Amino acid sequence: MSLKLGVLGIDHGHIFGMLGGMKALGCTCANYWTDGPAVTEDKFNEVFPDVDRVSDRRAILDADLDMILISAVPADRAALAIEAMEAGKDVMVDKPGCTTLDQLDAIRDCVARTGRIWSVNFSERFEVRAAAKASELVAAGAIGRVVQVVTLAPHKQNLKTRPDWYFLKQRYGGILCDIGSHQVDQFLHFTGSTEVTIGHALAENTTRPEYPGFQDFGEMTLVGDKGHGYLRLDWFTPDGLPTWGDGRLFLLGTEGTIECRKYTDIGQPHRTDNLYLVNAEENVHIDCREVELPYFGRLISDVQDRTETAATQAHTFRTMEIAIRAQMKADGL
């Protein structure tokens, strides 16, 4: 059975993957609401011409829907998610799902009170086929126990296309909270850690003094009860790269290694979803472009069956808490 969806906020381009992934599995969506102008709106109307804008979000909150997708400005996502859950809807929200610990506490309370699902779409894992293949290989024991996770998450600045909120830390949450939540998700997922200490956290504005709230470099080290991590974020991708960033995932296991070159493979013809596996038997490149992405299908099943197969609620809460605490540590709070 497909789900009936609504959309609150299209301020970030991740809404295209969120809605597109659900519609590809038969879900339907009739309406969206967004607060004021959004730089994505023309493209959204082009890609989803059958989804009409409504002027009052209550038209979506009060409709007979199963799930609401939220890609509003990061600082606004928590309040919208709480409204949606209190209206009896499950929620898929773009990362970061929230930007403060107070927001996270309010979401925890709402989930406990309503029994609704609050799923944050960590698209650097959920929408990347090489990462999905890495999950399969790790689960099958291809590299033994994962000892360390290293993530590199470079982005192009593309300043001319960015709305004002991209440069206001109180609106986007800071680089470790925002982009870093992707990386924390991968660290927790691949190591299986549930108890984590933030050993080091740094965030800075290296190149854009004209935007004092902008952070173009960040890093953190995590010490988990089942593994270690170094996570780096930046906005330094040069224009010569044929895509928005050369994101990489490195998994060090007791019996082998995996590297995912997610979005391109530098020095080669442009090709996404590259995985390199080395263990006692293999030294191979795996083309992952046809690998299935399980997140959307699992989430649909979770909504229908009230299960937690896409990601556990505890994992999602833990990911956002670590990302926010790392941001606070970097900011000296």
Q: Is the pTM of the predicted complex or chain greater than 0.85? A: yes
Percent of the chain with pLDDT over 90: 97
Q: Return the pLDDT at 225.
A: 98
pLDDT at 275: 98
Neighbours of 159 (CB within 10 A): 13
SS3 state at 97: coil
CA distances from 235 to 54, 134, 154, 206, 217 (A): 34, 25, 6, 10, 7
Q: Where in the chain is the domain with CATH 3.30.360.10?
A: 125-293
Q: Which residue in 52, 67, 326 sits closest to 185, CA to CA?
A: 326
Q: How far is CA 42 from the centre of its chain?
A: 23
Residue 295 CA to residue 312 CA, distance in Å, equals 12
One-letter amino acid at 211 equals Y
**Is the pLDDT assigned to residue 254 strictly greater than 90?**
yes
User: What's residue 261's pLDDT?
Assistant: 98
The model's pLDDT over 274-309, given as tens digits with 9 standing for 90+, comes to 999 999 999 999 999 999 999 999 999 999 999 999
The half-sphere exposure of 226 on its side-chain side, counting CA atoms within 13 A, is 12
- The answer to which of 152-161, 223-232, 320-329 has the lowest mean pLDDT is 152-161
> What is the architecture of the domain spanning 4-121?
3-Layer(aba) Sandwich (3.40)
pLDDT interval class at 1 (50, 70, 90)? low
Q: Both tokens of residue 218?
A: 């960040």
What's the N-to-C CA distance of the chain in angstroms? 46
Considering only the C-alpha atoms of the chain, give the largest distance between any 2 of them, rounded to a whole number of Å: 59
Residue 258: the pLDDT is: 99
Mean confidence (pLDDT) of the chain = 97
From the list 214, 234, 127, 202, the residue with the least C-alpha distance to 162 is 214
**Dihedral angle sign, alpha carbons of residues 72, 76, 77, 82:** negative
pLDDT at 160: 82
Confidence of residue 159 (pLDDT cuts 50, 70, 90): confident
Q: What's residue 6's pLDDT?
A: 98
Domain span(s) for CATH 3.40.50.720 in the chain: 4-121
pLDDT tens-place string over residues 46-82 = 999 999 999 999 999 999 999 999 999 999 999 999 9
Answer whether 234's CB lies under 8 Å from 216's CB: yes
> Are 83 and 178 contacting, i.e. CB atoms less than 8 angstroms apart?
no
The CATH homologous superfamily for domain 125-293 is Dihydrodipicolinate Reductase; domain 2 (3.30.360.10)
Name the region of 12 (left: φ>0; alpha: ψ -120 to 50; beta: rest). Answer: beta
| pLDDT over 90 (residue 161) | no
Q: What are the pLDDT digits (tens) for 212-239?
A: 999 999 999 999 999 999 999 999 999 9
**In angstroms, rounded to a whole number, what is the distance separating the alpha carbons of residues 5 and 63?**
10
| Residue 239, CA distances (Å) to 121, 178, 247 in order | 27, 22, 15
d(CA 333, CA 330) in angstroms, rounded, equals 8
Q: 198 has which bridge partners? A: 222
* Res 158 pLDDT > 90: no
Residues listed for the chain: 333
pLDDT for 260 beyond 70: yes
Please report, rounded to a whole number, the percentage of residues in the chain having pLDDT higher than 70: 100
Helix or strand run (H / E) with residue 229? strand 228-234
Nearest 10 degrees: Cα torsion 18, 22, 24, 26: -160
State how far the Cα of 251 lies from the Cα of 248, in Å rounded to an integer.
Answer: 10
Measure the CA–CA gap between 244 and 38, rounded to whole angstroms: 20
Interval 149-168 mean pLDDT:
93
Beta bridge partners of 249: 151, 260
Range with the lowest mean pLDDT among 36-40, 91-95, 135-139, 188-192?
Answer: 36-40
Residue 119 · residue 91 · CB < 8 Å: yes
